[in-house]
Each structure stands twice: as structure tokens, then as C-alpha cells.
Structure 1
């Protein structure tokens, strides 16, 4: 009971402070949140897509990967495979017109000459089946050459039926960089461009390229989730806005309520990013890609739920007590309820942070911070303070455009 009394006393004090210091409370809330919101917006796309970065360092696959990287190139933990399709070439042929192996040999040598610039450690192809600087042309023993040639065809050339020409082959590229790192997507895109240029240098035949491997999968995952994030965020924002307008009938205030939730969301992302950057140090690979998407949908649902509850009570109290007194009394009546619900929800979400997966811990931390921020700053201070400023014409003539009730409703 004492805790409930304490919460009620706290919100009674905030309510009375709104009458005297609405500007200070409003600006103070914005000052508190804006720096973190800037961080959240700046690093919004600075996300981690690697499975290994989500696992604890004691996981066997993580330990094994670290051991491999101590002795071999980082890229060996996830080589990139390039499928090449050239309808005008036959990758079974060597030393004659339309011989695809000759083209691949020149392509491999061209790429090998640029290894440093392309951040490549090794290149394997039908002409250089074991990588390194020695290819099929360097084998002098006829028996070894025949065996190696056949094995190279089996491993690197797409199989066909009968005597049909083979138009598909593959390259295997081992990079010097971590294939799961954040920068790997940019490096892969650059490698894709450089490979197209190198292909045109060694042959006039048309060729198409398909990239496979961990980095290629991560790039596709990023592309898909980026599009989904925009679609989901847009639908959620527009849908919630329309519901608010239908319920509250005050479009300007509804816009402000949506903006307050978006500000809370970005500030939460900023706090979460800084917290885990500080905790993980050099091992921090960015927030897990699922955190921004799930955080937005949950925060906007919880935030606008509290908004509707608060604004409905404000409308009831304003009808009885007037513009400003109605806001103050509504905050005093609902503050304890909203903060109690927020504490319960934050505690529940915080339990996710006890998980071993970093992505789950980040999501649990972000949800807890977001709900607490929404409960103790946005809903009971940022929103009522704005409404008090609008109703007291603190914004001057534009107050009526910012949501002030018409004079006949006083």
C-alpha cells in the first residue's frame, strides 16, 4: 500500500508542477530524450546479421571459429561461391574456340593479381582447383594432370547429360575478412562489381553471376528486412494514427502523440545501442537486426494504448473541470495506474535479458527501457505538458492549429 501511496504522491506532485512549470517539464523531457534519439537514428542501420555474434562466446561453434581464424584466413569460415553462367562458352573445353576453361584461367589470374585490393586470400576455380598460384597448366605429369583435370571438372563445372556443353561453372573465393562482419556486405557488393569488370576484360562472351555463401545470405536478409521494416512501420503508424483520430477527433494532437512514440522509440534504440556498446566493447557488432522491428511494433502498441487511456480520461475531466484543470486532474488519476502497469511490463520484458542469446538480451533490455521511458516520461509528462501549453496558448496564435480546443468547449 505504501508503494501505491508513493506513486500517487509522486504524480500528484507532477500534476501540480505542470501548472507552474509546463515549459520546463516539456523542454526538460525533450532535452533528456533527444540526444539518445539522435544516437538511435544515426546508428539505426548499424545492425548485426551474423549468427555467431548472437551466440555466447563459450558456444562450441564460436570457439571453433576463433581457433580457425587464429591459423587461417577469416574468410575460410564462410567462403563465397560464385556461379557463372555463360551460354556462349563450354566449360568442358580447353585450348579451342569457345573454351570456357581458358576464360576462367584468365579470370582467375586477373583476380589473383588484385588480391590485395579485392581483400581476397585465395581463389579456386576449374583452372586452379586447389587455389594458390599453381593451376592445371603447371602440372607436368600426364597421369596426375588427367586425374586432376577430371576431378576439377567434377567439382567446378555444372554437370550435363550426354555430350551437351556445360555453360555453368563456379568460383570459390576466400576473403581475408570475417564473412559475418558488418562491413562484409559492402565488400561483397564491391567484389561483385569488380568481378563483372574483370570478366569483361578477359572475354567478350556474356556472363551472369550468382553469389552464394554466408555473406550473400546476410546481404539478402538485410535487403528483405529493410523493406519489411519500412512496410511494417508505415502500416503500423498510419493504422494507429487513423484509430487515434477516430477515437479522439483531434488530428493535431494525434500527430503529436504519434511523434512522441517515435521519439521514445528512437531514444530507446539509442540507449540500447550505447549500453551494449559499453558492455561488449570491441566485440560489439551492432544491435541484432530483429531488435528495431520488434521494438517498434510493441512500443507503438503499448504507447498508444496508454495514450488512448490518458486522452480519454483528459476529455472526461475537461468536460467537468475545464481545459487545464481537466488535464491536471486526469494525470493525477491515471499516473499511478500507467506507471504501475509499466513497471510490471518492464519487469516481464527484462526477463528476456537473462537469455544467453545476445539478440534476445538486447530485445529484452530495449523493451524494458522503452516501456519505462514511455511510462515515466512520455505519457505522464511529455504529453500532458504539451496539452497544457497548447490550452494556455503558450505557442501563441498557432495553438489552435496544434490541438487547442475551440473556445466554446471551455
Structure 2
């Protein structure tokens, strides 16, 4: 059936307008080639490029502190025997462990160290909570924890399997009261297993949620299918290209990244599909033919989508300036994700629109509509366009967001490998049992090495230092020279040279969380004075262990915050300035995004730390989430303000807001709901970091859409007016040109 003739198209003015319309003509003309090309690219990426391999077996990939590893290395050089273990076997009977079971655990540890078992385990140190061995234990004679040393050449999964296999072979009698294997290594392995179990479920649920939002937005069954094709092409290509680029650049990509990549792709590609589909629907209602409507929608929205996508990609790429290996892995992967989604959006989506035309909205029928008088704006739109009510809205929004942001000052950071796991996992159950039998810090004790000439011969002074350590706030127990005869026999606590001694310090709080980190930092500050008071004189101390590691990771992360923040803000500001050709508007737009981000962080503190009672939040979540939210906020700024800018060039500012705000808000609301669903459903993964990310990103997007973009930004534009375009004065120039044209016609 032949199409109705298109109405006369108003000639484009300006070089850039002609350029974008030319791009639209080429894209529409090559629509079938583009679709086939993307299908081929997705297949080729899946078949020929290496899949993205996340790392879960490298603590250094988390941004490990060099000082803590240096301390462990120095300890090994001095004692020729490791004291710190990141895996442990837990036995516990609340009614009491028989003395024979405790004795067998000690003998078994000695036999492992003497390599009498056919196992990849290199050594073991059993610690019972007998009163003489561990006076500070919460219980007496109920628990034995055996620190196990596996071959470090094995990855986390292999080390965990070796320990679990050994425990299963040796602890077969019910009287052994075997609970499980725990520690940071088994916890990281368990995180990987949980993630692998849930990742596809989360992806499917997220896709269904996003497609439902698309169907409801456009009343169509084809629009969700178009989105699914576009997202699928982006996901398959991105995962393949990310794996290839990571190998080429020797970049470590965290295992946690795949669900975030899929959620990000779903969100941004869906957003851009909504923008393009909205443009196509508007052009079809104006009476344009299928192909011309696709050209006009492509020409109108591609500049906005391109700048928005580049803004998000540049914002996420700012993570590259971090010193932390974790963030350096996040940066390229997220930036590549956004760029791939952008290329799909500006090529595949317009091509599909040109092919489908009105069919994209089936079963709804899109027919040309006569030009009608503009509907009376809603009360909310009139409120943001009126200077008096706009001022009230700005004050209310700033006060509310500011009050929420004020709570962010209480944000505490930690690692919490074990605590992030579901309570049903073996590592979590074993950690809980060990904590009840001893103290929460028993799973990952801190190692303190005291190095000085002849210190090993000063038994009384060393014992006095051990007693002093026990009295420090937050310390539940100390194990040192003379406390474990079996360990002393192999030189575990006193170096053979006599030049060093070491202690295991057990904290009364969970080792990788904020409270334990604060305790250790205070203890480190007191160490020189404690050694001096014990009569050891001037000594060199080294502090290692998971808590020291966590302390260093968080210190490095905090140091990266300033660097990442400055670069991210500068990049977003620069792109807003270039797109809007102004300085004033980008400043208050970016300030509004920062305020919304602060409010989101404050709400996360109230929810997780105050309401749920968590000690802290996973150290990388607030920073990675902040970069994404800041960049995505600029993304919506470009779409919303870009529409107001276009209208303000041809009409008074108040009228431009009344015309542009409802249209842009409808698209941004649908896009924001889709993006919030994509991120929010990450919380379905039963791991602490994903629940925190899901909350932070989901709530942050909703605040941005329903408060910042719907109320605060249009109210600010109303208050500032045409001055927003300073120093270019483009809005004033356009208005003066329009006035001159009107006078000439009269």
C-alpha cells in the first residue's frame, strides 16, 4: 500500500542541522545493511572473541594496600613460616567439644605442617578456645578453629576446594562437630558461586521488567521487541569486545562487573530507544511518511543521544585516573559498555525505526492528527514556569535534598567478604560459629611483627607487650610466644634468628568492617609506645592481615575519591558547556546533580547503616555508583535542557518551559523508570554489594527523574532565565532575531 505524501519539510538551517539530517538520510538508506551488520557483529563477537573473564581470585585486584602485603612478606622472610591464613576449618559444639576432639585437632594440624597427608595443604595452626589457650573467648571448650595454608599458586576456588575436601575426609565423626570452612578466600569463592547462580536470573527478570515498561509506555508489543534486539546486539558485542580489550590492555576486570554491564546496557539503550520512538511517533502524527519520519526523528535526537552517551562514557572513564586497580578495571569496562550502547542506539535503532515505521507501535495505530490548540499545561508545569512558585520549589528541593545529603557524613566503608554472603552459605555459618566460640575477629586475626636485635631473647618484655595488647580497646585476645606450644615448636611466633617475634591479635569486631578498621588504626598508632613501655626500646613493627588490608584498601579508595571526583565533574561540566554553549546553566545543572547524589548517599546511610544496622557499606559501591549517577544525571540534563533550549530560541523562556517540559518529562520519566528497574533489580543477587548498588542506583535515578529533572532544574531555568546561556547570550540573540523578523513582517 502506498504511503500518504509527506507534508512539506521545513528546510534545515545551519551547517550542523544539515550534517545531522545528512547522517539520518544515510542511516535510513542503509537500514537493512545496518541491521544485518549488527547481527553479524553479535554472532562474531560471541564465536571469535574471548568472553569477559572476571577475577575473583586476586585480592590485589581490589586495590590492596602495599604496606599490608609488605608486612606479610617481611614476616615470611623472618620466620620462614606463614602465620596468617585466609581459610579456616571450624568445629563447634555449643554443649562442649570433647577433650579428645580438641587434641585430635592439634595433632592433625601438626601432621599437616609436617606434610604427612596427601593434600595440597602446606600447613595448619589449630586454636582451641580452651581457657588457657584463649582467655578472651566468648565460650570455653566449645570450638576449635584450624587456620589452613593452601598452595598460593591455586586460585580461590581451588584453594577452597582443597580445604573443604580435607575437612570432609578427616572430620567424619559426629563428635567432630564440623561446621564448615570460612575466611576471606572461601568467602570470595562463595561470592563467585552465588553470582554465577543468580546472574542469569537477574538478567532475565530485568529484561522482562524493562520490556514491560516499554510496552506500557507506548502501548505496543513491537517497541519492546525493537528494544530487545538493540540491547541484545549491544550485550553480545560488549561482552566479547570487553574480554578482548581486557586481554590486550592486561586489565583486571572484577567478576562483579558482568551484571552491572548488562544493567547499564539495558538502561541506556532502553533510554535512547524511548527517545527515538517518541520522536518517531511525533513525526508520524504530524503526517510524515515512514522514511521521512525516521529521518526527522534521527536528525533531531541523534545529536542529543550522542552528546548524552559521550558524557556518560567520559564520566565512567574518569575512573582511569584512580590508583586503585579495582577502579582502573571498572573505568574502561564501563566506558566501553556505554560507547557500544551509544553506537547501537544511533545506528541500529534508527535503522529498525525506518524498517518498522508505524509497525513499531503495533497494535496501537498511529495516524496523522490535525493541528490542535496546545493543551493547558498541568499545574506542576505552570508552577515551575512561574518565578514565585519556582523559587519556593527550589528552596523546598534544596532543603530536602540537603537534609538527606547531610546524612552522608556518617558513611562508613568496609570489605565484609563473609558478611556479604547469604546466611545459608557454609562460609557464613562457619564464621558465625567461630565468632560465637571465640570473638568475631577470630576468622581473620591481625598479625603484628616486632623486629629488633635480640628481641626473641627478651621473654618477659615480649610477654608484657602481649599483655598490653590484650588491654587495648577492641581487642578480644592475643596469641603470641608461649601460648601455643605446637606452634612454637615450628617457630611460628619467635624467629630462629631471635631478631623478631610476632603476635596474632583477635579483634572483638568483624575483621573487614569499619569498626575493626578503626580499632586497628588506633592500635597501630599506639604500638611504638606500647613496645617502649614494655621495655623493648626502639623496635620496627609490621602489621598485616585482612583488617590491615581492608584499612589500606579504604585509605587508597578515599584518596582516589578526590582525584576521580575532580575529573568526573570537569568532564561532565565541559560536555555540558560545549553542548549548551553556555557556562551558567551547566554550573547549576551540575550542582543539582551533585546535590541529588549527596541525597542518595545519605539515604543509603539511613537505610543500610541506621535501619538495617550494617556496620558499613562495601567500599567500592558509593564511588562507582556516584560516577554513574553523576554521568547519567548529565545525560538527562542534556535531553531535558536541550529541549528547553530549542524552544527558547523561538519563544519567551516561560513559554519555552511550558512547551518543552511536559514533552521531555514524559520521555525522561519512562526512561528513568526503565533505568531504575535495570539497576534496582541488581538487588536480587543475594550479595551485599549488589543490594547496595541496586539501592543506590535505583533510588538515585528516581530522585534525579522525579525531583531534580521534574522540579528543581526547570525551576532554576525559570529563575535564571536567558542569563543561563551566558557568556554566549544565544537565547537573547535568538529572541532579538525573532523580534526583528516580527517587526520586518509588520
TM-score of the two chains, using structure 1 as the length reference: 0.79
Tell me, in whole angstroms, the C-alpha distance in 1 between the residues paired with 2:728 and 2:626: 26
Tell me, in whole angstroms, the C-alpha distance in 1 between the residues paired with 2:498 and 2:376: 78
Q: Could you tell me how far 1:57 is from its partner in structure 2? A: 2.0
Quick one: which of 481, 493, 501 aligns to 1:156?
493
Secondary structure at 2:543 match in 1: strand
Secondary structure at 1:57 match in 2: coil
Q: For the aligned residues, what is the CA RMSD?
A: 3.1
Q: Could you tell me how far 1:170 is from its partner in structure 2? A: 1.9
Alignment map for 1:73-222 (pairs within 5 Å)? 73-86=439-452, 89=453, 99-103=454-458, 105-113=460-468, 115-126=470-481, 128-130=482-484, 151-152=488-489, 154-158=491-495, 165=497, 167-203=499-535, 206-222=538-554
Tell me, in whole angstroms, the C-alpha distance in 2 between the residues paired with 1:183 and 1:152: 34
In structure 1, the gaps of 5 or more residues are: 90-98, 131-147, 160-164, 394-398
Secondary structure at 1:50 match in 2: coil
Tell me, in whole angstroms, the C-alpha distance in 2 between the residues paired with 1:168 and 1:113: 18
Report Cα offsets for 1:93-143 as digits up to 9, x if no partner. xxxxxx3223354032144156334443433333x242xxxxxxxxxxxxx
Tell me, in whole angstroms, the C-alpha distance in 1 between the residues paired with 2:420 and 2:515: 17
Quick one: which of 679, 694, 715 aligns to 1:349?
679
Secondary structure at 1:81 match in 2: strand
Tell me, in whole angstroms, the C-alpha distance in 2 between the residues paired with 1:196 and 1:243: 51
Query: Residues 457 and 498 of structure 2 are in contact (CA less than 8 Å); yes or no, is this contact kept in structure 1?
Result: no
Report Cα offsets for 1:348-384 as digits up to 9, x if no partner. 1111011100220111121111111111211122111
Quick one: which of 387, 411, 421 aligns to 1:55?
421
Q: Could you tell me how far 1:311 is from its partner in structure 2? A: 2.1
Which residue of 1 is the match for residue 589 of structure 2? 257
Quick one: which of 667, 680, 689 aligns to 1:337?
667
Question: Taking structure 1 as reference, are residues 306 and 403 closer, same or farther at Cα in structure 2, changes over 3 Å only?
Answer: farther
Secondary structure at 2:491 match in 1: helix
How many residues are paired up?
366
Quick one: which of 643, 646, 652 aligns to 1:313?
643
Which residue of 2 is the match for residue 136 of structure 1? none
Which residue of 2 is the match for residue 224 of structure 1? 556
Question: Taking structure 1 as reference, are residues 104 and 179 closer, same or farther at Cα in structure 2, changes over 3 Å only?
Answer: farther
Quick one: which of 10, 22, 39 aligns to 2:390?
22
Tell me, in whole angstroms, the C-alpha distance in 2 between the residues paired with 1:24 and 1:117: 53
Which residue of 1 is the match for residue 621 of structure 2? 291
Tell me, in whole angstroms, the C-alpha distance in 1 between the residues paired with 2:697 and 2:376: 24
Tell me, in whole angstroms, the C-alpha distance in 2 between the residues paired with 1:10 and 1:381: 18
In structure 2, the gaps of 5 or more residues are: 1-214, 220-277, 279-373, 736-746
Q: Could you tell me how far 1:49 is from its partner in structure 2? A: 2.2
Question: Taking structure 1 as reference, are residues 257 and 54 closer, same or farther at Cα in structure 2, changes over 3 Å only?
Answer: same
Which residue of 1 is the match for residue 634 of structure 2? 304
TM-score of the two chains, using structure 2 as the length reference: 0.45
Q: Which has the higher contact order (CA 8 A, sep 6+)?
A: 1
Report Cα offsets for 1:372-408 as digits up to 9, x if no partner. 1111211122111111012289xxxxx9989987755
Query: Residues 725 and 731 of structure 2 are in contact (CA less than 8 Å); yes or no, is this contact kept in structure 1?
Result: yes
Query: Residues 15 and 329 of structure 1 are in contact (CA less than 8 Å); yes or no, is this contact kept in structure 2?
Result: no
Query: Residues 11 and 336 of structure 1 are in contact (CA less than 8 Å); yes or no, is this contact kept in structure 2?
Result: no
Which residue of 2 is the match for residue 373 of structure 1? 703
Secondary structure at 1:209 match in 2: strand
Question: Taking structure 1 as reference, are residues 62 and 404 closer, same or farther at Cα in structure 2, changes over 3 Å only?
Answer: farther
Query: Residues 33 and 267 of structure 1 are in contact (CA less than 8 Å); yes or no, is this contact kept in structure 2?
Result: yes
Does residue 43 of the first structure (1) align with residue 373 of the second (2)?
no
Question: Taking structure 1 as reference, are residues 48 and 77 closer, same or farther at Cα in structure 2, changes over 3 Å only?
Answer: same
Query: Residues 390 and 403 of structure 1 are in contact (CA less than 8 Å); yes or no, is this contact kept in structure 2?
Result: no
Report Cα offsets for 1:142-165 as digits up to 9, x if no partner. xxxxxx699446222446xxxxx4
Secondary structure at 2:449 match in 1: strand
Question: Taking structure 1 as reference, are residues 193 and 104 closer, same or farther at Cα in structure 2, changes over 3 Å only?
Answer: farther
Moved more, 291-300 or 22-31: 22-31
Tell me, in whole angstroms, the C-alpha distance in 2 between the residues paired with 1:154 and 1:313: 73
Query: Residues 650 and 734 of structure 2 are in contact (CA less than 8 Å); yes or no, is this contact kept in structure 1?
Result: no
Tell me, in whole angstroms, the C-alpha distance in 2 between the residues paired with 1:350 and 1:369: 8
Query: Residues 121 and 174 of structure 1 are in contact (CA less than 8 Å); yes or no, is this contact kept in structure 2?
Result: yes
Query: Residues 80 and 172 of structure 1 are in contact (CA less than 8 Å); yes or no, is this contact kept in structure 2?
Result: yes
Query: Residues 513 and 616 of structure 2 are in contact (CA less than 8 Å); yes or no, is this contact kept in structure 1?
Result: no
Tell me, in whole angstroms, the C-alpha distance in 1 between the residues paired with 2:559 and 2:465: 36
Q: Could you tell me how far 1:275 is from its partner in structure 2? A: 2.6
Question: Taking structure 1 as reference, are residues 150 and 178 closer, same or farther at Cα in structure 2, changes over 3 Å only?
Answer: closer
Tell me, in whole angstroms, the C-alpha distance in 2 between the residues paired with 1:9 and 1:278: 46
Which residue of 2 is the match for residue 269 of structure 1? 601
